[in-house]
Amino acid sequence: MRRMHVIGLALCAVFVAGLPARAVTLRYAPKVGDTVKHKVSLAGRTSSGAEDTGDNPLAEAMRMEVSGTIQYAEKALSETTDTVRIETQVTGGKFTWGIGGQSQNQQMPKGKVVADMDRRGRLVKTIETTFSGKSGAQDFMTGGAGGWSNFSSFAVFPEGDVKAGDTWSDEIKIPAAQGVPEVNLTLSSRLLDLTTVDNRKCAKIRTTFKGPFNLDTIPGAGDSSSMEATLQGDLVWYYDYENSVYVSGEGQVGMNMNINVSGPEIAGMPVSIKMLMNIKLSLIK
């Protein structure tokens, strides 16, 4: 009897090993009327410096620390076969900047963005933007520098079914904002696993991205000033593929900038800026 039991277990193991890996279709299809709340936590630093020629006022290196959180709620307003209209409402948050031993806090004003997203999670069109004032919150939600820390900006799903180990790639555009150009990013993603998080069936995905951008003229820095920069990141995120909910994620976003500053007292001074931000996304229950 024991021998038959062992043989049966062995046969079951061989059968399971021979089964094809489970495949899923990842689509952005939130239920119209449902609201999902998230919190994004940020912590990082920015450093800058310039070539020391003896008379360069920008040569002294500067370092700034930044941390903060933003809470927002997303609600599906309507849908078509190919798109879903999402209202993203900023409900709170605060940022802290520290430089030279001094710190400054800023509360995030409330506001909203209404946009159409396609079924692969990509921005199609911004319909409405309403905020109580010009702020980092508005920048965060509408594609400016703060928008680079919004996880869903990089959550692009593949065309067809995928299974653990499969990879896909895409190119996206982060829209231009005041003083910030449009950024074209190349994304590479891999489905690491199909797992369960808080009783949710989730796809665990790793996404890396990179893209250059430039400005021919920097506002307020002189007509001959220019900037070249590269944005890159590495994120791991969990997506509830049955309910279209971003459950959690974390990773890093970095940026390297080279600026040529020209002005009445500065002639062609190169300035370098490096930014590294740790990001964490969590679902508010």
CATH, residue 217: 2.30.230
Q: Positive or negative CA dihedral for 128, 174, 273, 150? A: positive
In a domain, 69, yes or no: yes
Which residues neighbour 58 within 8 Å (Cβ) at sequence distance 6 or greater? 48, 49, 50, 261, 266, 269, 271
In a domain, 207, yes or no: yes
In a domain, 12, yes or no: no
More confident residue, 22 or 181: 22
User: Is a pLDDT exceeding 60 seen at residue 232?
Assistant: yes
**pLDDT tens readout for residues 102-154:** 889 988 888 888 999 999 998 888 898 887 755 444 454 444 434 444 566 77
Name the one residue in this structure whose structure tokens are 């002005």: 263
d(CA 136, CA 121): 23
Report residue 182's pLDDT band, with 50, 70 and 90 as the boundaries: confident
In a domain, 58, yes or no: no
What pLDDT shows up at residue 62? 78
d(CA 127, CA 154): 20
**pLDDT tens readout for residues 234-284:** 999 999 999 999 999 999 999 888 877 666 555 566 778 888 999 999 999
Count how many domains the chain has. Answer: 1
In a domain, 211, yes or no: yes
What pLDDT shows up at residue 240? 97
Domain around 74: 31-52+63-284
pLDDT, the chain, mean? 80
In a domain, 15, yes or no: no
